[in-house]
Structure 1
Amino acid sequence: MTSDTSSPALDAVSVVASIADLVRENYVFPDAARQLADLLRLRSAEGSYRTESAQELAETVTADLRSVNGDLHLALTHHAVPVPPERGAAVLAAMRRDFDASLGGVPRVELLDHGVAVLEIAPKMFPLDWAARPLAAALSLVAPARALVLDLRRNTGGDPDTVAFVCGYLLDGRTHLNTVVSRQGEVAAQSWTPPFVPGARFGADKPLYVLTSANTFSAGEELAYDLQQLGRAEIVGEATRGGAHPRDGWTVHPHLELSVPVARAVNPVSGTNWEGTGVRPDVPCDAGAALDRALSLAAARLT
């Protein structure tokens, strides 16, 4: 077995015990939570987690966490750089590095033939207090376009508030997007488009196409799903990964963060969500061909 020389010694038994407790206490589905906690304790007693490598432990535990119901938000994530111990701090630290390296999450804004604009949001829907300025600038820039292609093929999740912010530029008026239901079955929160957005809106009437891939995940999926269910956009590309449950994170070791879904999403139109199934495209095609396909659809509609 290899070891992480830059980190404190790994006590895998203690780490897994803490993970079992956190899953049992917080996972949105109580029955599955108990089943998963029991599985982790059994596997630990059998010696399945005997390792000095945090990365190896992360891979093994993640496979076990997903073995019951396939929830892709259940994960033990290894971070090569030590992360703060505060709840949720590990994922934020990693996201900040991505934010700084991706022009604030808007790596591409381009005007193509027929007045069709392409806007890519990737690699994340970053926290709104970081992302509002670059997103407002990009969305205002494409507002005069005759049609818009929103590229989410490389978007792997993030902040639901940012989803609502983006939708505010693509819809008219306050619109209910999503309801978050707690582990206890109570409404914990609702997501609505904001009453005001800075800059110009693209609006609710011009053609809108959303590109997806098999890598599109979580909040990236929500943006596609919300617009699809409202009849606002055509989804072009591949079915997405299928992770709908809002998550929280706990640092259980300086290099390990536990991700656990703590609620479930309910779309006001469909009454359900995209968990397990992914967002199904209206126009299925390979992700690599999705942009050309969307541009063809836009050209046919505009000419």
Structure 2
Amino acid sequence: MKVIKKSTIVVVTLLMLFTALLSAQQKVTPLTPKEQQTVVDSISSKLNANYVFPEIAAKMSSNIESKLKKGNYKSILDPQEFSSILTADLRAISNDKHIRVTFSPDRIAEQQQTVTAEDSVAFLKRYVSNLKRNNFGFKEVKIMAGNVGYLDLRSFSNVEYAGEAAVAAMNFLSNADAIIIDLRNNGGGSPAMIQLITSYLFGSDPVHLNNFYWRPSDQNSQTWTLPHVYGTRSPETPVYVLTSGSTFSAAEEFSYNLKHLERATLVGETTGGGAHPGGSVVATDRFMVWVPTGRAINPITNTNWEGTGVSPHIKTPAADALNIAYTEALESLMKNNKNEGLQAFYEWPLAELRLKTNPVTLTPKTLKTFAGSYGPRMVTFENDKLFYQRGSGTKYELLPYSTHEFMLKGNDSFRIRFLSEGNTVTALQGLYDNGRTDKNAKGKE
């Protein structure tokens, strides 16, 4: 018979009590008809006072008020579910993807408890700390092979806090021969950050980026590139912007601006379609609503991307966008540069990209024609694969990236090109990543 120690029973009992206590603490107070009425009234009031289109605000308000009166929300006791349904009902009228109702009691309580100056400072510190943990949206900045710069930007954070990160990133990219800005996972943010980053892509002469109309103040505003930036601008560097269906709001404005200013090539998917800036406001002690209070009016098109999204120049699934843009950048750099050394410099990573995106398959019969000795180098055909070895060195599998050019699996700095006369392979040419080449005749020591 199995004996259970008394201490074990105590531990298990305590764990059960702790779990029950935690569940009780996390339990959300169900909605009441009175709270539903308060939420709907407050949201309606804020939309009617601030939503960018008054007539649509009236229709949205009428819709949720009517549904409440008819009892459509009566059976909804879960606040999260209620916020989701209200969001869907508001969007059904407006088709505005920015509008959303959220159940955020903790966030609201935190804001309402910020009373003294010390409270405000502490609240701000927590806010900035959260931004820092994500490096203010600057996920990755690097220089890829071929001197192509890459920036993975996940948000357009407030310039007041993220300005230094933006300046550092853009200066890091200033020596690149082309720049890829990845906005596939960017949901938006601050127009001021758009202005700052864009300023690095133009000269010092002001460029008109966008206009905005603001409903609450009934006023218009404009954004232009900045006359001064810290560090180096890149006005002549080719720019590629990667987009997806998740690219939204400020990320769309950035893409839309550069597209119509003919400053960038957009690669990827059509974006989400949200052109109405605004912000979250407290509706009750448990609910918030994001209210679009303005609309973008592009100075070139006199319209915006609301509901339609920004269409790319090169349409491709988002997952393929980086490889496509990288290939386009390298091919363009090769085409526009007549220096043979630089062409070889751009061709090196381009060949690897082509192998990745469009692999070449050669028949065993063709592969056998390359086998043989080339001075100190030996090429062998084994198990339908081709292998390269110099002297007693490492044996590498050869991967074709054209009908006569091969990469070495596991060696990025050296490649092989077979030379032929007619249909006969006559020599092996070694290709090095610094542009140097050498050659050995087939069958010669």
Return the TM-score normalized by structure 2.
0.62
Per the alignment, residue 53 of structure 1 pairs with 78
> In the superposition, relative to structure 1, how do residues 125 and 133 fare at CA in structure 2: closer, same or farther (>3 Å)?
same
Q: Is the partner of 2:267 in helix, strand or coil?
A: strand
C-alpha distance in 1 between matches for 2:78 and 2:128:
25
**Contact 2:181–2:241 at 8 Å: present in 1 too?**
yes
> In the superposition, relative to structure 1, how do residues 78 and 20 fare at CA in structure 2: closer, same or farther (>3 Å)?
same
- The answer as to 2:232 corresponding to 1:200 is yes
Per the alignment, residue 279 of structure 2 pairs with 248
- The answer as to 2:54 corresponding to 1:30 is yes
Q: Deviation per CA, 1:181-240, whole angstroms, max 9, x where unpaired?
A: 133895421111111112222x22111000000000000111111111100000000000
C-alpha distance in 1 between matches for 2:270 and 2:156:
19
Bigger CA drift: 147-156 or 258-267? Answer: 258-267
- The answer as to 2:162 corresponding to 1:131 is yes
Q: Is the partner of 1:66 in helix, strand or coil?
A: helix
Picking from 207, 215, 223, the partner of 1:175 is 207
**Contact 2:244–2:269 at 8 Å: present in 1 too?**
yes
> In the superposition, relative to structure 1, how do residues 55 and 230 fare at CA in structure 2: closer, same or farther (>3 Å)?
same
Q: Give the CA RMSD over aligned residues.
A: 2.6
State the identity as a percent.
Answer: 34
- The answer as to 2:193 corresponding to 1:162 is yes
C-alpha distance in 2 between matches for 1:192 and 1:12:
44
Listed as ranges, the gaps of 5+ residues in structure 1 are: none
Picking from 241, 255, 265, the partner of 1:210 is 241
**Contact 2:255–2:266 at 8 Å: present in 1 too?**
yes
C-alpha distance in 2 between matches for 1:17 and 1:226:
38
Per the alignment, residue 4 of structure 2 pairs with none
**Contact 2:39–2:287 at 8 Å: present in 1 too?**
no
Q: Deviation per CA, 1:99-135, whole angstroms, max 9, x where unpaired?
A: 233112101011111110100111x211111110111
Q: Is the partner of 2:175 in helix, strand or coil?
A: coil
Picking from 170, 179, 183, the partner of 1:148 is 179
Per the alignment, residue 108 of structure 1 pairs with 140
Matched residue type, 1:17: D
Per the alignment, residue 301 of structure 2 pairs with 270
- The answer as to 2:96 corresponding to 1:71 is yes
Q: Is the partner of 1:275 in helix, strand or coil?
A: coil
**Contact 1:7–1:255 at 8 Å: present in 2 too?**
no
Bigger CA drift: 182-191 or 286-295? Answer: 182-191
C-alpha distance in 1 between matches for 2:149 and 2:284:
45
Higher radius of gyration, 1 or 2: 2
Q: Deviation per CA, 1:240-279, whole angstroms, max 9, x where unpaired?
A: 0000011132112344320111111100111110100000
Q: Is the partner of 2:222 in helix, strand or coil?
A: strand
Matched residue type, 1:61: L
Q: Is the partner of 1:265 in helix, strand or coil?
A: strand
C-alpha distance in 1 between matches for 2:305 and 2:130:
25
> In the superposition, relative to structure 1, how do residues 77 and 93 fare at CA in structure 2: closer, same or farther (>3 Å)?
farther
> In the superposition, relative to structure 1, how do residues 140 and 146 fare at CA in structure 2: closer, same or farther (>3 Å)?
same
> In the superposition, relative to structure 1, how do residues 164 and 8 fare at CA in structure 2: closer, same or farther (>3 Å)?
farther
- The answer as to 2:313 corresponding to 1:290 is no
> In the superposition, relative to structure 1, how do residues 97 and 77 fare at CA in structure 2: closer, same or farther (>3 Å)?
farther
> In the superposition, relative to structure 1, how do residues 255 and 118 fare at CA in structure 2: closer, same or farther (>3 Å)?
farther
> Is the strand fraction higher in 1 or 2?
2
C-alpha distance in 1 between matches for 2:126 and 2:59:
30
C-alpha distance in 1 between matches for 2:133 and 2:296:
30
Q: Is the partner of 1:148 in helix, strand or coil?
A: strand
C-alpha distance in 2 between matches for 1:270 and 1:296:
30
Return the TM-score normalized by structure 1.
0.90
C-alpha distance in 1 between matches for 2:129 and 2:270:
28
C-alpha distance in 2 between matches for 1:9 and 1:184:
31
Listed as ranges, the gaps of 5+ residues in structure 2 are: 1-24, 114-119, 335-445
Matched residue type, 1:110: K
C-alpha distance in 2 between matches for 1:184 and 1:129:
24
Superposed, 1:76-95 pairs within 5 Å as 76-79=101-104, 81-83=106-108, 84-85=111-112
Per the alignment, residue 301 of structure 1 pairs with 332
C-alpha distance in 1 between matches for 2:101 and 2:80:
9
Give the C-alpha shift of residue 53 in structure 1. 2.6
Q: Is the partner of 2:275 in helix, strand or coil?
A: coil
**Contact 1:149–1:208 at 8 Å: present in 2 too?**
yes
Q: Larger relative contact order (C-alpha < 8 A, sep ≥ 6)?
A: 1
C-alpha distance in 2 between matches for 1:237 and 1:171:
23
Bigger CA drift: 97-106 or 259-268? Answer: 97-106
C-alpha distance in 2 between matches for 1:140 and 1:7:
51
Q: Is the partner of 2:299 in helix, strand or coil?
A: coil
**Contact 1:7–1:254 at 8 Å: present in 2 too?**
no
Matched residue type, 1:20: S
Matched residue type, 1:38: S
**Contact 2:38–2:284 at 8 Å: present in 1 too?**
no
Give the C-alpha shift of residue 35 in structure 1. 0.7
> In the superposition, relative to structure 1, how do residues 178 and 76 fare at CA in structure 2: closer, same or farther (>3 Å)?
same
